[in-house]
Amino acid sequence: MTEWRDEVEKALTIFGTVAELAGDPISKDDIAIEYLNAPHRPPTRLPVGKMAVYGFWGDSVWLKIGKAGPNTNARYTSQHYNPGSAQSTLAASLAGDSHMLTVAGFDPHTSGAWIKASTHRVNILLPSQRRKGLLSLLEAFLHLRWRPRYEG
């Protein structure tokens, strides 16, 4: 396994304990993980009956972590790849980062293409019947654990 995948597996093992301590236990069998290696294609839809926390890994760090409820398909599939869709997307964060101008092959106007070509993505899928607070807890836990570059 690669470093970023190992981090996902370790974090989800620990998260099981966190969820249990929070009074909303979840089993590993209730969590589906999709690993998209670079270059990757964005997912075309959030699977029916699922909600997700997703993360982008590149440049040996976690770049962005987000969440998508069952009614936020665009956030899950396309917004992070379009620098004009919202300020809080990975594409917009990269486009506004002066460090990225020193990265070979990066163009702030087409940052979505760089994301697809140069980052790995993980999708952590939970059943949408679970409490939305569990999804928020997982996202917050991963923010604290992984300290993504473009958060805050």
The CA distances from residue 54 to 65, 96, 99, 105, in Å, are 6, 21, 24, 24
User: Does pLDDT of 59 surpass 90?
Assistant: no
Q: What is the pLDDT of residues 136-147, one digit of tens each?
A: 999 999 999 999
Q: Which helix (H) or strand (E) holds 111?
A: helix 111-118
Chain mean position to CA 147: 12
pLDDT band at 5 (very low <50, low <70, confident <90, very high): very high
With tokens 């997703």, the residue in question is 54
The rounded percent of the chain whose pLDDT value lies above 70 is 99
- For residues 83 and 108, is the Cβ–Cβ distance under 8 A? yes
The pTM of the full predicted model, rounded to 2 decimals, is: 0.94
pLDDT interval class at 152 (50, 70, 90):
low
Query: What pLDDT does residue 104 have?
Result: 87
